[in-house]
Amino acid sequence: MGEPPETTPSESQESAGRSIGSLLGPFGARKDIDGRFTSLQVWLKVAVIVIYIVIATVWFPSWLMKPNSLAVIRDLYSGLMSADTWSTILSLIVSGVWFVALAVGLGAMRVAQQHRYL
């Protein structure tokens, strides 16, 4: 008597999803039984996706390509490499950041889709 009822892993995932969804308000609302969202939900979700893609895959890598963005690393190894080598390394760093940002965004959208948030 007084013991909490046992829950299955799927029930605990659903309750976690509901708590996250209620925390996000209209943005986190799931599809209804008919598989539809309201117009406000759709526009909010599109805005978040577009803002993430612009910031994570356009603005941030572009900012990293500026000459002074990674100046500490460049100055630390300035005696070991030429400007051409540094330019190549900077391009590889920025390409890696871009790829990781894109992969995180796509992975997050896939998880949201599996939980019926998209």
pLDDT digits (tens, 9 = 90+) for 55-110: 999 999 998 888 777 777 777 777 787 878 888 888 898 999 999 999 999 998 88
In 3D space, the residue among 81, 17, 21, 64 whose CA is nearest the CA of residue 45 turns out to be 21
Do 105 and 56 contact (CB within 8 A), yes or no? Answer: yes
pLDDT digits (tens, 9 = 90+) for 12-31: 555 555 555 555 555 556 66
The whole-number pLDDT of residue 87 equals 82
Contacts of 26 (CB under 8 A, 6+ apart): 38, 40, 41, 44
